[in-house]
Amino acid sequence: MALGLSVIFGVVRVVNFAHGEMMTVAMYAATILFAALGLDPFLCMLPAAAAFFAFGYALQAMLVNPFITRPEHSQFMLLVAVAIILSNALLMVFGPDARSVQVDYQLDTFEIGKLLVDKARLYGAAAAIAAASVLFLFFRKTRTGKAIRACADNHLGARIVGLNVKRLYSLTFGLGAACVAVAGCALVLLVDVTPSLGPYYTLLAFVIVIVGGLGSMGGALLGGVLIGVSEALAGLFIDPSAKSMFSFALLILVLLFRPQGLLGSKA
Amino acid sequence: MTLLALRSVSKSFRGLRAVRDVSFQVAEGAIVGLIGPNGAGKTTLFSLVAGALSPDAGEIAFAGRPIHGLHPHQVCAAGIGRTFQIVKPFAALTVRDNVVVGALLRTRSAADARRVADGILDQLDLGAKRHLPAGSLTLPERKRLEVARALATRPRLLLLDEVMAGLRPTECDEMVLLFRELNRSDGLTVLLIEHVMRAVMALAARIVVLHHGQVIAQGTPAEVVRDPAVLECYLGEEAEI
Amino acid sequence: MNRAGAALAVLAALLMALPALAGPYALSVATLILYFAYTGQAWNVMMGFAGQLSLGHALYVGVGGYAAGALFYHYGIGPWAGLWLAMLLCVALGAAIGFLAFRFGISGVYFALLTIASAEFTRIGFDHLGWLGGPGGMFLKVAQRDAWDLVNFRGPPVMYYYAILLFCVFAFALCFVLSKSKAGYYWQAIREDEDAARALGIDTFRWKMLAVMLSSAMTSVSGVFFAFYYNNLFPEQIFNISRSIEIILGPVIGGVGTLFGPVLGAALLTLLSEGITESLGAIGLDIPGVKQLFYGAVLLAIVMFLPGGLWPALSSRLRRAK
């Protein structure tokens, strides 16, 4: 999930404030599909990813692209507005109660040595790594991927060379959205979904991305692991509900001392 | 009296030595030109003097006091004004308000600042446009505004960064007259970076030539123009001497 | 500008006379509008003047409210003393955030994230402070009084209305005076181009700090008002990011950096949203989230089509109509 944000921000340099909300929508989509068709969320991932790709593409093309030249905080506000609209639309349609997906293997665990690992979590992690690998290959090997990276490095230069920057941005946003869809499907097995989940996950994604390094995919993964581990540890030593405080403190520290993150490069 | 003195000033950026062991002086009341090919380090030198950058080595003294390492606003308060190579007007403010911002450094009240601003605007022939937003001005007007704004801070030394670029010869001549007048009547010391030789020759009593971050020649215009090192570094360039 | 002066006088008269003309519901809506107008104006000082986007302003509302509330709850100290503590704490907080941000060169989006993180951090923190009520909230004793008790800031709704009106007028006057003063010019310069400002002798760090501290001090007053008007404080609610967003809606819609923007925005938004809730209620629908959705839609529309906000567009129309 954080991967998607890193991709979006790193390339389009637009802070997608609606990231968390988009994931919440994905989670709801998974619940509907499960309820209606009995589809295992993991199987939902591919169609969800495709649908979200289209949605993200459209969002970028229609709303954000005209904005690239506007000052930063305009773009930010734009996505804040989208976030508000999404989360409240969800509230209106689904109501405030939590929903969840119940699958057979949800409570099963694997035993690896002395550790008990939830099957659901393991599958989720596998999915994340798979998605990350696909993205990585895409950006390194394909022509479009390289084109997108060129845009990120030098917007003006890319245009001069003839790349259709707007279309590439839309593509990137779409990819980011697809990542989010995958994440949402995986997460729905672990967390009950309510309409107000958005802000928490958006912030979490930012923490991860900034700690790991904006624009660096490896950084996003590393950041994700780091935050996950530190939150778990913090939960052991401090009151569990306060563990997010630790993440935010970390965010503040990183913003101050190493804004490019652990693996990022200076912008 | 020496107003500005640079001694062995050096500045590098990640391995690129932009300014290397540069030393020269600017006497009070003089107009000195700083010339050299693109990339010679001229604007970096300005930024060092103005406090936007701090030197890796060497000293910069203004009226006897060291100013290297000071913040830009402190350098301005000490009496050095500067213009930018790519003009930076406060686009949303009116022309007059732009200059008022400069004037406020030295005045007690906003009303006084407005009076001072009006005077300077007239001096620079921008009076008629005083209530228009600065963003609506043409390039030569913006350049004049940039100068007006810097002048409003009552500097003793004015750093002009390629202020003639993009101006037509007649506009260039008007600016030359303006600076000559300010130099004569107010005793304003000027250090200017210029590519437009027409202006440099007309204004500067002394010229410092920079190439690859080092001073390769200094002297009167006549001396510099004949200097073999200077001719070599400009060979192939269009010099309008 | 005689027409503008006359219009202002009429507005002032209307506002003063409102309690006599309106019923209790209208009065509470008016109070709400003025509350958002005031808080929006306070936020505007930081954004409109110094150009720093803060999305965590709920932090100051919360700290202000809790500071004054705690003094009253635990020690029975009245809000006028609490006000000073609230302002002091918020100024310190604002200064800390400002110092950290400006010293380390954080601006723009990163600054906004910093403010969000600070507010969230505090929210979770307060959830665990039992002495301040924790997640269950802090409740101030509600004394139903018909008499005006200014010392303890308790009284009928009318009193709160006039109080917030007074704050609004004060904020308005303050911003007006500032905008014409050296501070106003310098802040605008910093907002337009910080490098150029520095080259003109402006100590941008100092002036940005001033804006942040003033803004947080003003916002803390909102918090104190909130505490004594609503009489309950929950960390989850008062520090929530949606509160921060609510605060900025008024100024953004009305016009960031303008004097009338926050007031116009707050008025328009609150009236329209109340209107929507009322009309839906009349048909028998009570859909949670409609109001917020409406806010989001309006924000989107304004950001896309009228980024300067409503007031500049309106005022240029009015000027042309003369």
Band of residue C239 on the pLDDT scale cut at 50, 70, 90: confident
Band of residue C34 on the pLDDT scale cut at 50, 70, 90: confident
How far apart are the C-alpha atoms of C240 and C119, rounded to whole Å? 8
SS3 for B218? strand
Cβ distance B90 to C192 less than 8 Å, yes or no, reads yes
Cβ distance C53 to A241 less than 8 Å, yes or no, reads no
**Of A168-172, C71-75, C81-85, which has the strongest mean pLDDT?**
C81-85
Q: Is the pLDDT of residue B186 over 60?
A: yes
Between C128 and A34, name the one with better pLDDT.
C128
Is C16 exposed, middle or buried, given 0-12, 13-18 or 19+ CB atoms closer than 10 A?
exposed
Q: Sort residue C73 into left (φ over 0), alpha (ψ -120 to 50) or beta.
A: alpha
From A25-29, A61-65, B79-83, the region with the lowest mean pLDDT: A25-29
C41 to each of A155, B3, C61, how far by Cα in Å?
37, 47, 13
Q: Sort residue B154 into left (φ over 0), alpha (ψ -120 to 50) or beta.
A: left
pLDDT of residue B83: 92
Is C184 exposed, middle or buried, given 0-12, 13-18 or 19+ CB atoms closer than 10 A?
middle
pLDDT of residue C11: 79
Cβ distance C192 to B71 less than 8 Å, yes or no, reads no
Cβ distance C112 to A73 less than 8 Å, yes or no, reads yes
Q: Virtual CA dihedral for C89, C90, C96, C99, nearest 10 degrees?
A: -140
Chains A and B share 3 or more Cβ pairs within 8 Å = no
Between B112 and C24, name the one with better pLDDT.
B112
How far apart are the C-alpha atoms of B47 and B162, rounded to whole Å? 14
CB C54 within 8 A of CB C112: yes
CB B29 within 8 A of CB B179: no
Residue B20: phi and psi, rounded to 5, are: -125, 110
Interface check C6 vs A, CB under 8 A: no
Closest CA relative to residue A159, chosen from C128, A150, A260 = A150
- The helix (run of H) or strand (run of E) holding residue A23 is helix A19-37
Q: Is the pLDDT of residue A15 over 50?
A: no
Contact residues, chain B, for C181 at CB < 8 Å = 110
Q: Kindly state the percentage of chain A with pLDDT values over 90.
A: 0
Q: Is the pLDDT of residue B215 over 80?
A: yes
Q: Is the pLDDT of residue B158 over 90?
A: yes
CB B4 within 8 A of CB B49: yes
What count of other Cβ atoms lies within 10 Å of the Cβ of residue C93? 20
Cβ distance C199 to B50 less than 8 Å, yes or no, reads yes
> Per residue in C100-117, pLDDT tens?
888 777 766 678 777 887
> Per residue in A167-212, pLDDT tens?
666 666 666 667 666 666 666 666 666 666 666 666 666 666 666 6
The subunits that touch chain B, with at least 3 C-beta pairs less than 8 Å apart, are C
Residue of A nearest to C117 (CA): A248
> Per residue in B1-60, pLDDT tens?
889 999 999 998 887 888 889 999 999 999 999 988 887 788 899 999 999 888 999 999
Q: How many CB pairs under 8 A join A and C?
A: 112
Between A103 and A81, name the one with better pLDDT.
A81
Cβ distance C307 to A74 less than 8 Å, yes or no, reads yes
Interface check C209 vs B, CB under 8 A: no
Identify which of B72, B89, B97 has the shortest CB distance to residue C199.
Answer: B72
Q: Is the pLDDT of residue A88 over 80?
A: no
**Interface test mutation site (partner C, options A80, A203, A243, A266, max chain C beta carbons within 10 A):** A80
Mean pLDDT score across all residues of chain A: 61
Band of residue A53 on the pLDDT scale cut at 50, 70, 90: low
CB A227 within 8 A of CB A211: yes
Contact residues, chain B, for C186 at CB < 8 Å = 101, 104
Sign of CA dihedral A9, A15, A16, A20: positive
> Per residue in A91-115, pLDDT tens?
777 666 666 666 555 556 656 555 5
Is C68 exposed, middle or buried, given 0-12, 13-18 or 19+ CB atoms closer than 10 A?
buried
Contact partners, residue C154, CB within 8 Å, separation at least 6:
C143, C145, C228
From C170-174, C200-204, C234-238, the region with the lowest mean pLDDT: C234-238
Mean pLDDT score across all residues of chain C: 80
What count of other Cβ atoms lies within 10 Å of the Cβ of residue C252? 30
Q: Is the pLDDT of residue C291 over 80?
A: no
From A3-12, A67-76, C70-79, C148-157, the region with the lowest mean pLDDT: A3-12
B7 to each of A43, B19, B58, B68, how far by Cα in Å?
71, 12, 6, 11
| C window 73-92, beta carbon within 8 A of A | none
Residue B68: phi and psi, rounded to 5, are: -65, 135
Contact partners, residue B184, CB within 8 Å, separation at least 6:
none
Cβ distance C292 to A210 less than 8 Å, yes or no, reads no
**Interface test mutation site (partner B, options C102, C180, C181, C185, max chain B beta carbons within 10 A):** C185
Q: Is the pLDDT of residue C140 over 80?
A: no
Token pair listed for C62: 């919360």
Cβ distance B77 to C202 less than 8 Å, yes or no, reads no
pLDDT of residue C21: 74
The subunits that touch chain A, with at least 3 C-beta pairs less than 8 Å apart, are C
How far apart are the C-alpha atoms of A161 and A147, rounded to whole Å? 10
Task: Give how far the C-alpha of residue C164 lies from the chain's centroid of Cα atoms, to the nearest Å.
Answer: 11
Contact residues, chain B, for C179 at CB < 8 Å = none
Q: Is the pLDDT of residue A263 over 50?
A: no
Q: Is the pLDDT of residue A152 over 80?
A: no
Q: Is the pLDDT of residue B176 over 80?
A: yes
Place of tokens 């969840």: A100
Cβ distance A91 to C292 less than 8 Å, yes or no, reads yes
How far apart are the C-alpha atoms of B101 and B98, rounded to whole Å? 5
Interface check B81 vs C, CB under 8 A: yes
pLDDT of residue A11: 39
Band of residue C196 on the pLDDT scale cut at 50, 70, 90: very high
- Can you state the angle between helices A41-59 and A19-37, rounded to 10 degrees? 140
How far apart are the C-alpha atoms of A48 and A184, rounded to whole Å? 9
Interface check C102 vs A, CB under 8 A: no
How far apart are the C-alpha atoms of A2 and A15, rounded to whole Å? 12
Identify which of C192, C193, C201 has the shortest CB distance to residue B105.
Answer: C201
Residue B215: phi and psi, rounded to 5, are: -80, 120
Cβ distance B104 to C182 less than 8 Å, yes or no, reads yes
Supply the ipTM of this predicted assembly.
0.86
How many helices (H) and strands (E) in chain C? 14, 2
CB B103 within 8 A of CB B152: yes
Between C25 and B63, name the one with better pLDDT.
B63
Interface check B72 vs C, CB under 8 A: yes
How far apart are the C-alpha atoms of C102 and B55, rounded to whole Å? 22
Contact residues, chain A, for C287 at CB < 8 Å = 92
The minimum CA-CA distance between A210 and chain C, rounded to whole Å, is: 10
Contact residues, chain C, for A88 at CB < 8 Å = 289-290, 292-293, 296
Band of residue B196 on the pLDDT scale cut at 50, 70, 90: confident
pLDDT of residue B79: 92
pLDDT of residue C17: 78
The minimum CA-CA distance between C268 and chain B, rounded to whole Å, is: 26
CA angle B126, B131, B137 (to 5 degrees): 55
In this prediction the pTM is 0.79
Between C158 and B99, name the one with better pLDDT.
B99
Max intra-chain CA distance, chain A: 58
Cβ distance C182 to B110 less than 8 Å, yes or no, reads yes
Structural domain boundaries of chain C?
A: 22-240
Q: Is the pLDDT of residue B123 over 50?
A: yes
Cβ distance C181 to B82 less than 8 Å, yes or no, reads no
| C window 115-144, beta carbon within 8 A of A | 116-118, 120-121, 124-125, 127-128
pLDDT of residue B212: 87
- The helix (run of H) or strand (run of E) holding residue B57 is strand B57-62
